[in-house]
Amino acid sequence: MTGNKSRGHNSTSQVLPTLLILCCLLQCQSRPHSYDSKPLSEISREVSKYSDIAQQIINLAVYGKAQNRSYERLAEFTDAIGNRVSGSKNLDLAIKYMYNALRQDGLENVHLEPVKIPHWVRGEESAVMLLPRNHTLAVLGLGSSVGTPPGGIEAEVIVVDSFEELKKRASEAKGKIVVYNQPFVSYGETVAYRASGASEAAKVGAVASLIRSVTPFSINSPHTGWQWYQPGVVQIPTACITIEDAQMMARMARRGQRIVVRLTMAAQTLPDVDSFNTVAEITGSEHPEQVGDFKYAILYCR
């Protein structure tokens, strides 16, 4: 987004749903460089200047012409496109959808920038608890995970609530599957277990890791996402499980029951493929030369 006022020919009721959909799709770890050196109080004063405009947008979305439109378009997007794993055909469809939606809504300088992206394929996967009873776990492999050997991995489970507990019990983890039953604090804090859980488990000799879904609420539904292997650390298979299953295994472990799980994952990473960044602008009328945060987000977050 450039400048601090949009041109009149861009209808807010048209643009807002697309912007909200796009913001929902971004998983951004970056932030504008200009904010790095600003104290929180200064940022707060700057943001407060836009409270009236923000309220107008809220009123438009909740009570005005755009009421339910963002939800309806997001529903259409997810119904028609589905999951959008990096390198997949669904991702290509999603990019085309957003490109056309941004143009139809009248944003400016809408274009695609070619990039290379990872091509990760989840493949068939399953997890079954064999002891103390037979129970099929709802599981989703984490992005970039390696797969298991063809026959899967069958191993005893060690359940921990934190990285600190894992370090204290490092001698117990060798050859086992680490199950993280970390409590949800906030997404920004708790997602560290999804991002680094596999590598931290591998450091103490674990053969795989299962991460409690990073969400405050679950209906036996695993919540997946991308994870990162630390350089120089053995890469082990990793997947997310539901809150319910993580808590159940934690209760079993507290009772001293032996837990055994068989994990099978056919995940693999293929050579990088061609894709695109989707870029759009709302050019300001007062300071069109200024480039703001929204354009930065579109450009650099994937």
Structure-block tokens of residue 47:
């943001």
Taking all residues of the chain, what is their mean pLDDT, rounded to a whole number? 86
* Confidence (pLDDT) at 289: 78
Local confidence band at 27 (pLDDT 50, 70, 90 cut-offs): very low
* Confidence (pLDDT) at 122: 94
* Confidence (pLDDT) at 297: 38
**Average of per-residue pLDDT across 90-109:** 93
Q: Which residue has the higher pLDDT, 283 or 154?
A: 154
Handedness of CA 91, 88, 77, 30 (dihedral sign): negative
Tell me how far the alpha carbon of residue 76 is from its chain's centroid.
20
Q: Which residues of 79-95 are buried (b: 16+ CB within 10 A; e: fewer)?
A: eebeebbbbbeebbebb
Q: Which residue has the higher pLDDT, 114 or 289?
A: 114
Please say whether the beta carbons of 235 and 146 come within 8 A: yes
Local confidence band at 143 (pLDDT 50, 70, 90 cut-offs): very high
* Confidence (pLDDT) at 17: 55
Local confidence band at 37 (pLDDT 50, 70, 90 cut-offs): low
158 Cβ contact list (under 8 Å, min separation 6):
169, 172, 173, 176, 177, 178, 179, 206, 253
* Confidence (pLDDT) at 68: 87
Local confidence band at 195 (pLDDT 50, 70, 90 cut-offs): very high
Contacts 24+ apart (CB under 8 A), 135-138: 135/245, 137/210, 137/241, 137/242, 137/245, 137/261, 138/220, 138/221, 138/222, 138/241, 138/242, 138/245
Local confidence band at 36 (pLDDT 50, 70, 90 cut-offs): low
DSSP element (H, E) containing 270: strand 268-281
* Confidence (pLDDT) at 255: 98
* Confidence (pLDDT) at 260: 98
* Confidence (pLDDT) at 250: 98
With a cut of 90, say whether residue 226 has pLDDT above it. Answer: yes
Cα distance between residue 82 and residue 155, in whole Å: 33
Q: Which residue has the higher pLDDT, 48 or 167?
A: 167
With a cut of 70, say whether residue 13 has pLDDT above it. Answer: no
- What pTM, to 2 d.p., does this model score? 0.75
Q: Which class does domain 123-266 fall in?
A: alpha beta
* Confidence (pLDDT) at 285: 79
With a cut of 50, say whether residue 182 has pLDDT above it. Answer: yes
Closest to 196 measured CA to CA, from 222, 223, 178: 178
With a cut of 80, say whether residue 78 has pLDDT above it. Answer: yes
With a cut of 60, say whether residue 28 has pLDDT above it. Answer: no
Within the chain, all domains assigned CATH 3.50.30.30 are found at 123-266
With a cut of 80, say whether residue 245 has pLDDT above it. Answer: yes
